[in-house]
Amino acid sequence: MREKLYITFHSEDEIRHFVDTCNEFDDAIDIRIQKTAMDAKSLLGMLLMKTEEPLEIEYACYDDEDNYEEFKQAILEKYDAKVVPASEKSADNKIV
């Protein structure tokens, strides 16, 4: 099982820059909070997401070129993001 990637936004400007970063990649990128998922490449949708709360990033590749590692490095360098091995999630889906 793939590790989990979480991001916390501290401003709308961060969200705007994150959307720009996501649009540099061809793969599907979503943000999930509880049961709600939002296309991370949609500025309007992303501005509806909460700030100051960790949000799970779901990255899916549907072709032969998986850029997850490159995406992960870009996110970790630019934003308040954290990688959590899948085994470290608690039963209530909170980050430990």
The CATH number that applies at residue 49 is 3.30.1340.10
Is the distance from CB of 19 to CB of 78 less than 8 angstroms?
no
Q: Is residue 39 in some structural domain?
A: yes
Query: φ, ψ for residue 24 (rounded to 5)?
Result: -80, -10
Residues 6+ apart with CB under 8 A from 85: 3, 4
pLDDT at 49: 83
Residue 32, in any domain of the structure: yes
Give a yes or no: residue 93 inside a domain: no
Q: Is residue 80 in a domain?
A: yes
Specify if 45 maps to a domain.
Answer: yes
Q: Is the pLDDT reported for residue 92 higher than 50?
A: no
Q: Which pTM value belongs to this model?
A: 0.83
The boundaries of the domain holding residue 23 are: 4-87
Q: What is the pLDDT of residues 14-66, one digit of tens each?
A: 999 999 999 999 999 999 988 888 999 999 999 988 789 999 999 998 888 78
The domain tally of the chain equals: 1
Can you give the pLDDT at residue 54? 93
pLDDT of 39: 97
Residue 95 lies in a domain: no
Specify if 69 maps to a domain. yes
